[in-house]
Structure formats: C-alpha cells, structure tokens
Amino acid sequence: MLSHAPGDPNAIDLASVLRTVGRKIPALIVLAASVAAITGGVLSTMAPKYLSQSQLEIRGSGPAEGGGRPDKEAVGTHVRGLMSTELALKMSKALTLTQRPEFNTALEPDDLYGRLLRTAGIGGPKPGETDEDRLMQAYFRAVRAYQVRETRSVIIDCTSSSAKFSADCANTLAELYRDSLRGRAAVENSDVRGKLAPEVDRLTRETSVAEADAAEFRGRANLFLSGMQSTGLKDQQLSELSAELTRAATTRGEADARAQTARDMSLRGSAAANPDVQKSTLIPKMEEQRVTLERQISELSATLLPGHPRMKQLHSELAGLQGQIRTEILKAVDSLGNDARIAADREAGIRRRVDDLKRTVVSSGPDTVRLAQLENQARSKRAELERVQRQFETATSSAAAAVAPAEVEIVSRAYPSNEKVFPKIGSMASLAAAAAFILGLALVLTRELVRSARPEAKRPSHAHTTVGLGEAAPNRRALSGDAMAASKRAGTQTSDGIADTAHKLVEIARGARGFRVLVASHEAPGNRPSLVMELAHSLAATGKKVLLIAWAGSGATLAGLINVDNEPGTSNLLRGTVSLEEAIQRAPNGSIDILGSGSSPTEAIDPDSAAMLLDALDEMYDVIVVYAPHAIAQALFEMIHGRFDAGVLVVASSELSLPPSNQSFLGFLVPDFPILRIASAPSDSWRAASAPSARGPARASL
C-alpha cells in the first residue's frame, strides 16, 4: 500500500544489498582490468606527442613610440601577433609544414590509429578544403602562445610527433617574430624621418616668427625686462620706489618723534638735557661759562655786597650768558622740527612717484596680457619643435646604425624533450579502469536498491485517472501476526454497513498504532457526513482511541451535526497559528476526538507540513479517520504519496451492485492496499450517544 515517499529506508534491506554488491566486486575488477587493457592497446596505436617551449621577454616598445616599459595590454598584443596568420604562413614556408602528415590531412597518417580511422572514413580531408585551410587548422592546434601571469614573458608551445621538430618549431616561430619586429622597426624609422623632416622645418619657421613678434611687441609697448631675473622694468622700478617709500616713512617718523620730545622738554625748562640739544658745540661751552660765573658770584658774595660794581658786573654777564643758552636751545629745537618737515616732504614726493608709476603699470595692463600671450605661443612652438627634433634625431641615429632597438628578446630556447605529453598510457589506462569500476559499482548498487523497493505504481486507464503517485512506497509500518495475514487479503471489498466496516478495519489494524483511514465520499444527495461520525463511534466502541479529522472543505457540515466548533482546525495547524491542544476537541459523549477543517486555507498546503501533522497524531491515537469529499480526498492522497493504511469509499446504494475495481483507489493503482466500499445511507444509532451536552463542546485532553 502507499504510505511513505519512495526510498524509505525501512523498506530496504541494506545488508542484503551490500552482500549482493560484494559478490559483484570480482566481476567489476575484471571489467576494470579489461577496460584498462583496451584503453592501453588503443593508446599504443597513437603517435606520441612531444611538447617544446621557448620563452620571449618583451623589453619595450619601438622608437616611434618613444620606448618605455610595456603594459599588460602591450604584452597581449605581442601574444596576438605570435598567433597571426601571416606568421603561420612564414612558418609553413620555413619548415615545409604542408609536407608533414600532422599538418596536412591529405597525406597518409604516420600512426596505426590514424590509418585505422582513415580506413573507417574518419579524419580524411574535407571536400573543397585547400592545403592552406588544412594547414591553418592543424597549425593552431599544435602551436600556442600565452603570457606568463604578472610578468612580461611570453611562452611559445609547439606540439609534434617528433621531439626535434617541436623544438625547431618553437625556436623558428620566436626568431621569425623577433626578426619581423626588427624589420618593421627599421621601416618605421625611415618613415618617421620622412614624415618629421618637413615638420621640423615648419616648426622652426613658426617658432622664429612667434619669438620675433613677442620681442617687437615688447619694445613697442615699452615692456622691457631688466635684471638677472628678467623682471619688467616698470615692475622693478615700482618695487624699488616702494622700498624707498618705506625707508622715508620710517625716517619721517623718527624726526617727528625727536622734534616733539625736544619741544616738550623746552616747555618744561629741561631742554638742555635733550641728547639732540647736547650735540650742539656752543651750548656745552656756554654751560661751562655759566657755571664759572655762578661760582665767582658765590665766592665774591662772601666779601662784597650785591650793590658792589663787581657783583653787578658778574650778574650782568650771567644774565647775558643764560639768554644766549636759551637762544641756542631754541635753535636746536627748531632744527629738529625742520628735519621732521624735510622728511615728511621727501616721503610725500616718493609717494607721488609711486602713484604715478602705478597708474602707468595699470594703463599698460592690456599690453602686458597681449605680450604674455605672444610669449606663451612662442614657448609652445619652441617646445613642440624640440620634441619633434628629438624624435627626428633618434630615428636618424637608428637608421645610421642600421639597427632597431630590441623590442623582443629570446631568453630561453626550446630543446627536444624525451618525455611525451600524449598519450600517457599508464595514467590514462588507470583512470579508465577506475571510472569503469566506479560506474559499474554505481549501476549494481542502484539496481539492487531498486529491486529491494516496490515496483512503480501504475495508473488505471479509465477516465478518472489523475496525475500519478510515482513509485509506490512499502507499507508505512510493519504489521505483525494476524495483521500481516489480513494485509494479504487486501483489495476492494464491499462492507455490510458501518459495524462490518469498523470490524474489518480493526482486523486490518490489529497490532498497529496510528492506523490511518481515508474516508472519501462522492458528493451525492445521500452521502451525508453523519456516516463518518457513526464509523468513528463504532471504531471507538472496540476500545480504540479514535481521532476524526475533517479535512479542508468538509468540516462545516460535520461540525453542524454535533455541538463542536469548526475552527480552529487542520488549516490553522498547517499554517502554525494554533497548537494541537487548541485545535483538537472532544465529542460531546467523550468517545472520540474531533479535529475540524478550520478556516479555508488561503494558499496551497505544504505536503511536508501535512505529513508531519499526521506523523505527530500517529503517536497519540490508535485510529485516525480522515474524512473528505471525493475530489479533496483524491488531492490529499496524491499530495502525501498515499500514506494511509486503508481507504473507505462511500458510494450510493445503487453502486454497490457494480463489480469493484481491485487495487484502484481514487483513480490510483495501489497494490496491497485495503479498500472498503460502503453505502451512503447510515443508521442514526450514533445520534443518541452524540447528543449535545448542556455545557457545549469540550477540548480534548492531550
């Protein structure tokens, strides 16, 4: 019967499978040895292939480009150049490749394998194919050039049936490419000289004209240069006058300070102590005379009265001397004021000259800008002339020496190799033997696993067939004793009422727990959900713990028959919004538990979630009765791969007389699956036992 998905490990005897595989090991070893021998024999008929390598180093670009370190793209360009068709034709001419069978399929192959293929009509020249076409195809298979990563080295690989020829091929290709670059560089030098000579003459004339125009405009605009720094004359004059103005302002400030100090000291009567006053040659002498007269008066006042003629004379001389001293001090103070005025006048004169020069500089601004443009143009012409002259001189010197700079150098030449790269008879034969052994082992193991499982379920060819269930799974659980004997009587049977159906189900389920029964009812007027209620109560009457599940779409009517709620139910459990304890309800009489359908699901039911729900209920109940209309039951049966232990078809009484379709349930062929048919008109004996209680529905105790 269909229960688990295909591949259930409970239905496979792994020990028997392994024993069978072990018996096949010697045959597999013989197969692997045979494959190795055949592979070695075939490979020995093939011509050996030898690989030789030469190495080039890209040193720099040609003289026309100015030399320099090549970048990754430049090295890649050389790789593409090595694999050019033009170079391949030069190689063909140098080594007469068209006369070698490995480069010309029109010739007789030089190995037994090739001759056998040619005899079988494989590997010969194609119609309409030229010698050059055949050469190019074989050449690009045998020759390869590539850049060594993160370096400027290029490797040339040549593969041939002759070790010496493979080395000659790699070395010849490297030499031809190097010589082609040198010849191309020499030709480029001649072309460069021819192109640059007129350019040098033109730039020489344009540079002379530009420099002459700049010099003429400088003289006309009076924008001469002076000094070692070639500074403009007006700019230099302005700089010098600015420095002189700064010095004059400093001198004027110092003179004003000395004059003001002298005037202040003169008003206080202490002008004689001023340093600038003391610089006078007369004042110190008159001060000495004053001191002498004052000493004489002091000495004579001890013997002479003030009215004495001598005393009067001395006082008169002292008064005259003091007047002269004051006069000289005033002259010195006035002299300091004159120095301050002279310094101020000099500063003002320099400032006027600076202002005049500034106005001149500003007025010559447009001429200065124009001169700068002419000079920039002349410098640009001069720089371009010097660059072109350098290129011309380089090309001229290279041509004179008749040698182009080395752009590509051969750093490692190819040598004949004693080790062939193909065929590796030992390693390839070993790999073929290992592959044959592993493949044979996989085929044997797969065949034994398939044999240990049940054959694929087939669908009947009547009009009600839906999509297939795939490979039929073995029984969902192992039955023992009488249950195994009952399973042998599996097939479609007709029951005589609810009690007989319950009795047969109990017989089939004997010794098992979590026995699942799918009750499918055609939507006919007499197929009322009350029948499944009576069946559940009959099963509970045998002492079984029974759970009645109303699958999606069938719970509203079932819930209306007894005082239970339709929600929450299976759809709520599958969406994970409620727990089992919240969803399962106890029937009013307490004999069975009921799980309503719940709210209608808004999305497709996950098959894994449905299977997990039924597996969880298997551990809690002896018998699980799932009720659904025919179409919904058919979808459920397919969705969980027929994981039920028995099926009950509720049909109209008129259909019981029709012959049953053995091994067909809901449109699927299900070998070893018990199927019971029952009429849709039930008795009402369960109603008294299921009368609603005063307290209403009760939740099941889990």
* CATH 3.30.1890 domain residues, the chain: 49-191+397-421
pLDDT of residue 577: 81
| 266 vs 132, more confident | 132
pLDDT of residue 143: 94
For residues 514-521, give the mean pLDDT: 88
**CA 205 vs CA 68, 77, 152, 192, 429: distances in Å:** 31, 39, 43, 20, 80
* Class of domain 482-693 as given by CATH: alpha beta
pLDDT higher than threshold 60 for residue 67: no
At 556-582, the pLDDT tens digits run 445 555 555 667 778 878 777 888 888
From 54, 46, 83, select the one nearest 161 (Cα to Cα). Answer: 46
From 511, 495, 492, select the one nearest 673 (Cα to Cα). Answer: 492
Strands 623-629 and 546-550: parallel
At 312-369, the pLDDT tens digits run 888 888 888 777 777 777 777 777 778 778 888 888 888 888 877 777 766 666 767 7
pLDDT of residue 686: 47
Task: Compute the half-sphere exposure of residue 200: CA atoms within 13 Å on the CB side of its CA.
Answer: 14
Q: What angle do CA 656, 661, 666 make, to 5 degrees?
A: 95
Instruction: Look at 10-14, 72-76, 653-657, 683-687 and tell me which has the smallest mean pLDDT.
Output: 683-687
DSSP string, 518-556: EEEE---TT--THHHHHHHHHHHHTT--EEEEE-TTSHH
Alpha-carbon span 633 to 617, nearest angstrom: 18
Alpha-carbon span 568 to 596, nearest angstrom: 7
From 677, 631, 675, select the one nearest 655 (Cα to Cα). Answer: 677
Highest mean pLDDT among 157-171, 346-360, 613-627: 157-171
Beta-carbon contacts of 278 under 8 Å, excluding residues fewer than 6 positions away, are 272, 284
pLDDT of residue 682: 53
For residues 499-515, give the mean pLDDT: 83
For residues 640-665, give the mean pLDDT: 77
pLDDT higher than threshold 60 for residue 41: yes
Highest mean pLDDT among 280-294, 510-524, 632-646: 632-646
At 284-323, the pLDDT tens digits run 777 778 788 888 888 888 888 888 888 888 888 888 877 7
* CATH 3.40.50.300 domain residues, the chain: 482-693
pLDDT of residue 659: 63
- Secondary element (H or E) of residue 698: strand 698-699
pLDDT of residue 234: 66
pLDDT higher than threshold 90 for residue 34: yes
* Predicted confidence band of residue 46 (pLDDT cuts 50, 70, 90): confident
Structure tokens at 224: 């001469």
- Secondary element (H or E) of residue 336: helix 309-363
What is the pTM for the complete model shown? 0.39
pLDDT of residue 601: 54
Highest mean pLDDT among 142-151, 191-200, 237-246, 475-484: 142-151
Instruction: Look at 36-40, 464-468, 506-510 and tell me which has the smallest mean pLDDT.
Output: 464-468
Alpha-carbon span 94 to 74, nearest angstrom: 27
Alpha-carbon span 658 to 663, nearest angstrom: 15
Alpha-carbon span 538 to 543, nearest angstrom: 9
**CA 623 vs CA 198, 489, 516, 546, 686: distances in Å:** 109, 20, 6, 5, 18
For residues 682-700, give the mean pLDDT: 47
For residues 519-537, give the mean pLDDT: 71
pLDDT higher than threshold 60 for residue 689: no
pLDDT of residue 365: 65
pLDDT higher than threshold 80 for residue 47: yes
Alpha-carbon span 637 to 555, nearest angstrom: 18
Beta-carbon contacts of 341 under 8 Å, excluding residues fewer than 6 positions away, are none
For residues 587-598, give the mean pLDDT: 81
At 358-403, the pLDDT tens digits run 777 666 667 677 777 888 888 888 898 898 888 888 777 655 544 5
Q: Which numeric CATH code is attached to 49-191+397-421?
A: 3.30.1890
pLDDT higher than threshold 80 for residue 205: yes
At 208-254, the pLDDT tens digits run 888 888 777 777 766 656 545 455 666 667 777 788 878 888 888 88
pLDDT of residue 222: 67
pLDDT of residue 494: 77
Contact 443, 31 (CB under 8 A): no
Alpha-carbon span 244 to 346, nearest angstrom: 10
pLDDT of residue 431: 94
φ/ψ of residue 240, rounded to 5: -65, -45
pLDDT of residue 2: 39
Alpha-carbon span 459 to 666, nearest angstrom: 10
At 417-474, the pLDDT tens digits run 888 888 888 899 999 999 999 999 999 888 878 766 544 333 333 333 333 333 333 3
Residue pointed to by tokens 């003091």: 322
pLDDT higher than threshold 90 for residue 149: no
Query: DSSP state, 68?
Result: -
For residues 171-198, give the mean pLDDT: 76
**CA 649 vs CA 514, 523, 633, 642: distances in Å:** 20, 12, 10, 15
Per DSSP, the three-state class of 566 is: coil
